[in-house]
Structure 1
Amino acid sequence: MKTYRLIAILLTTLIAGNVPAVNCSECHALELIGRNLSTWDGDTGQWESIADARLGADDPKRLTGEPGVGAILNGPTGRTRHLLSKQHFGDVNAHIEFIVAKDSNSGVYFMGRYEVQIFDSWQKESPYPGIECGGIYERWDESRTPKGFEGHSPRVNASRAPGQWQSFDVVFRAPRFDAAGRKIANARFEKVVHNGVIVHEDVEVTGPTRAAAFDDERPLGRLMLQGDHGPVAYRNIRLAPAGANAFFAFDNAVADEKHPTARAQAETLAELGYAGISVGLDRCPSLSDLLDELDQRNLRLFAVYAGVNIDSEQEPYSPALKDAIEALAGRNTILWLFMQSREHKPSSTAGDERAVAILRELAELAARHKVRIALYPHHAFWLERIEDAVRVADKLDRPNVGVTFNLCHWLRVSPDKSAELLIKEAMPRLLAVSINGADSDGRDWNTLIQTLDKGTFDMTGFLKTLGEAGYTGPIALQGYGVGGDARDNLTRSMQAWKKHSRVLYGDVAPFGPQKKQ
């Protein structure tokens, strides 16, 4: 099969005690290309160590290697065994460099199961989703029509010409399992960057892709390089822990008089280490301008916040919502939809039929543009509780529709209900979580929404609950009504995040002992 691509992955670890917060990727790193093939398991076939690779002088469909070390080539014909790493990994942050001959094909399989395609896609059209370089290759089922499914094309064809070195940077999240071994969360490509361009964001994979080395799913697995589909060489394969979940900020936590523009906000988020931003549709004058600023800094637009009215005599949503879906095409961005009504009281099931009808229309449009919807529970709105969001999403039953857990609204509406049970009931439809500092006994927004370094609420315990439930998706910083200097607030919240989020790290043991700082 044809599918190969880059990788970035992590292993999250539970670090106890008073260990200082650290950047996992700086403490652990594992090189898989050394002076020989000793990091790869078993029979390595015709793979050989080389110093560099280039196109054959007489045949651009061949690669020739220069004697030396630092790279590996899959033999004289490009038809040899796959390489499987000796070490097993779960979550990883991966950097991989590769070079292909004309029309050649390879792939990088995370855990030996989930492929990012490597292919000569230079100036080529795609015959099917996932075959392109940087694509997430399709799954395969002989009993289905069509047999291939869940292939994901890269948002942009970032390929270089054959004979040029290219790179992948991937953050990969392994599937999660409960104590009984039942899968509770799918594998996820959190981010795939091809030659410096983000091509995938937050893509779930429900099972092994075609031609995987293994049919089952497990918490850990080997990295695999496909070796039998044509000439390919690799170098600089570095794996490190992926760290905690992606952490982004609401626009209300970023915008102030010092940061009024998309550029100023993007610059600040990038400098402070945030993964991106969410915006209110009615507060963003130009999605395209914002996306340009974010793309330049490899930041993501995680969500766009917009409203739906389910009353029979009201327009259900602004025409701008459809425009936003088109502007977000291919990005897998979340539409955060809050739902209001004057006809129905909060949480009333009498509004479900109308809500489902409206959402069905939006979900179909969003799916055509590779956009997702996450229902957004909000105090005093019709869709008020996480239970309401789960109920409506279950009735709608669309793969691109899920729910959001908002800490501040849960504390305002139903703090007596167990967050652990609510989160477990929301999985696997849980697409996003929002947090902030809060007082456990708070009753107004001043006490329920604070910077992350403040409040009496046990944030570390809450994040631990998320991790134990198998949640690997993005986490947002709510900033509504906090006031003060946005940069200072973001700085202190990021420092608190690094401390609290240690419980979201996975097992870093495969990466060896922590390096001294």
Structure 2
Amino acid sequence: MQKYCLTLLAFYCCTALAAQITDPKATEFYEPVPPKVTAGESVNTPPSDAIILLGKGADASEWVSVNSGGPVEWTTEGDALVVKPGTGNIKTRRTFGDVQLHIEWRSPQEPDKTGQGRGNSGVFLQRRYEVQVLESNGSETYTNGQAASLYKQSPPLVNVTRKMGDWNSYDIIYTAPRFDANGMLVAPAHVTVLHNGVLVQNHFTLRGPTEYIGLPHYKAHGDDSIELQDHSNLVAFRNIWIREL
């Protein structure tokens, strides 16, 4: 009862204070001033403060092989970097926390394959949290494993995967988890995903890192790389850029 009364008193005090404000300038502020950023020519082109991870000519200098730590062994096709099955995943040289990530991907022509065997790859945030890449336009699988799912945790709100061989885009807003000095989770990670411009993950709260078997659970970590998966399919990637938030 005492707690309720104190809450009620605080409410009335705030209401009374608000009623006394008659000058509109009292609720205006001028700092901090947002920094100026030049937008790209379209939603797919990087703004002036973006880091280009894969641009024209498929320059892979921002990436390394996970297996060897050396140059990537994937192949190039114009401005695209294409998975070379058996060479393993690749990751960015730089590490990141909260980010806005744009990435475009194309599934290969594999009409004979189905389910998880068809155009499979993944975009791993901080090398732990996977946004699934899969040819989900003409093939069925478990819904929390289809394209634009947060793998094994959240299916997309809608399926907007383009037909096999066409380019798709992901725009990902990622808030990294927070841990205290003892490694305890303070705040979980959150992910928002737009697939081909359509909202498919709306500030989803991740329950932990991606797990193929079993339930996810957090382990303390800091900033880490963006990782792209070699799942033995010739998935292509292009126009990858990132903004640190």
TM-score (norm 1): 0.34
Q: Would the alpha carbon gap of residues 135 and 44 (structure 1) be closer, same or farther in structure 2, given more than 3 Å must change? A: farther
Q: Secondary structure of 2:226's match?
A: strand
Bigger Rg, which one: 1
Matches within 5 A, 1:495-510: none
- Aligned residue pairs total 189
Matched, 1:166 2:168: yes
CA-CA distance at 1:131 after TM superposition: 1.1
- Residue type of the partner of 1:224? E
Query: Which residue in the other structure is 1:225 paired with?
Result: 228
Tell which has more relative contact order, 1 or 2 (C-alpha 8 A, sep 6+). Answer: 2
Task: State the partner residue of 1:111.
Answer: 126
Whole-Å separation in 2 of the counterparts to 1:85 and 1:207: 21
- 1:159-214 residue CA offsets vs partner (Å, 9 max, x unmatched): 0111111100110110012244422011110x201111111101111211026xxx
Distance in 1 (CA, whole Å) between partners of 2:197 and 2:34 is: 28
- Contact 1:93–1:239 at 8 Å: present in 2 too? yes
- Closer/same/farther in 2, CA of residues 186 and 156 from structure 1, 3 Å limit: same
- Does residue 94 (structure 1) correspond to residue 101 (structure 2)? The answer is yes
Give the residue type in structure 1 aligned to 2:138: Q
For 1:27 and 1:91, locate their aligned partners in 2 and report how far apart those are by CA, in whole Å. Answer: 18
The whole-number CA distance in structure 2 between the counterparts of 1:236 and 1:152 is 26
**How far apart, CA to CA, are the structure 2 residues paired with 1:119 and 1:104?**
5
**1:97 and 1:168 in contact (8 A); partners too:** yes
The match for 1:48 among 75, 82, 88 is 75
Q: Which residue of 2 aligns with 1:133?
A: 147
| Deviations 1:280-319, CA, capped at 9 Å, x for gaps | xxxxxxxxxxxxxxxxxxxxxxxxxxxxxxxxxxxxxxxx
- Structure 1 match to 2:4: none
Kindly report which structure 2 residues correspond to 1:49-88, keeping only aligned pairs within 5 A, or say none. Answer: 49-51=76-78, 70-75=79-84, 78-88=85-95
Corresponding position of 1:409? none
**Alignment check: 8 A CA contact 2:89 2:230 kept:** yes
> What SS does the corresponding residue of 1:94 show, helix, strand or coil?
strand
Describe the SS at the equivalent of 1:130: helix
Evaluate the alpha carbon distance shift between residue 48 and residue 124 of structure 1 in structure 2; reply closer, same or farther with a 3 A threshold. Answer: closer
Task: Report the CA distance shift for 1:177/1:50 in structure 2 as closer, same or farther (over 3 A).
Answer: same
Q: How does 1:160-239 map to 2 (within 5 A)?
A: 160-189=162-191, 191-210=192-211, 216-239=219-242
Secondary structure (helix, strand or coil) at the match of 2:199 reads strand
| CA–CA separation in structure 2 for the residues paired with 1:79 and 1:131 | 22
Conserved 8 A contact 1:84-1:225? yes
**RMSD, matched Cα:** 2.3
Rounded Cα–Cα distance in structure 1 between residues aligned with 2:88 and 2:184:
32
Letter in 1 for 2:185: K
> 1:100 & 1:84 partners in 2: Cα distance?
20
Q: What is the CA distance between 1:134 and its match in structure 2?
A: 0.5
Matching residue of 2:139: 124
Consecutive unaligned residues in structure 1, runs of 5 or more? 1-17, 52-69, 139-150, 243-517
For 1:155, the equivalent position in structure 2 comes to 157
Q: Cα gap change, 1:176/1:74 in structure 2, threshold over 3 Å: closer, same or farther?
A: same
CA distance in 2, matches of 1:233, 1:98: 5
- Once residues 130 and 180 of structure 1 are traced to their aligned partners in structure 2, the CA distance between those partners, rounded to angstroms, is 32
Whether 2:60 is the aligned partner of 1:37: answer yes
What do the CA deviations read for 1:475-499 (whole angstroms, capped 9, x no partner)?
xxxxxxxxxxxxxxxxxxxxxxxxx
Aligned residue identity for 1:155: L
CA contact (8 A) 1:80 1:228 kept: no
What is the rounded CA distance, in whole Å, between the counterparts of 2:96 and 2:232 in structure 1? 24
Q: Within 1, Cα distance between the matches of 2:97 and 2:178? A: 10
> Shift in Å at residue 23 of structure 1?
5.7
Report the Cα offset of residue 37 of structure 1: 1.8
Q: Which amino acid is the alignment partner of residue 134 of structure 1?
A: A
SS in 2 for 1:96: strand
Greater helix share, 1 or 2? 1
Q: Identity over the aligned pairs, expressed in percent?
A: 33
Contact 1:92 1:240 in 2 (8 A): yes
Q: CA deviation at 1:217?
A: 3.9
Change (3 A) 1:44 1:229: farther
* Aligned partners of 1:207 and 1:217 also within 8 Å: no
1:161–1:44 Cα change, 3 Å:
farther
Return the offset for 1:71: 1.7
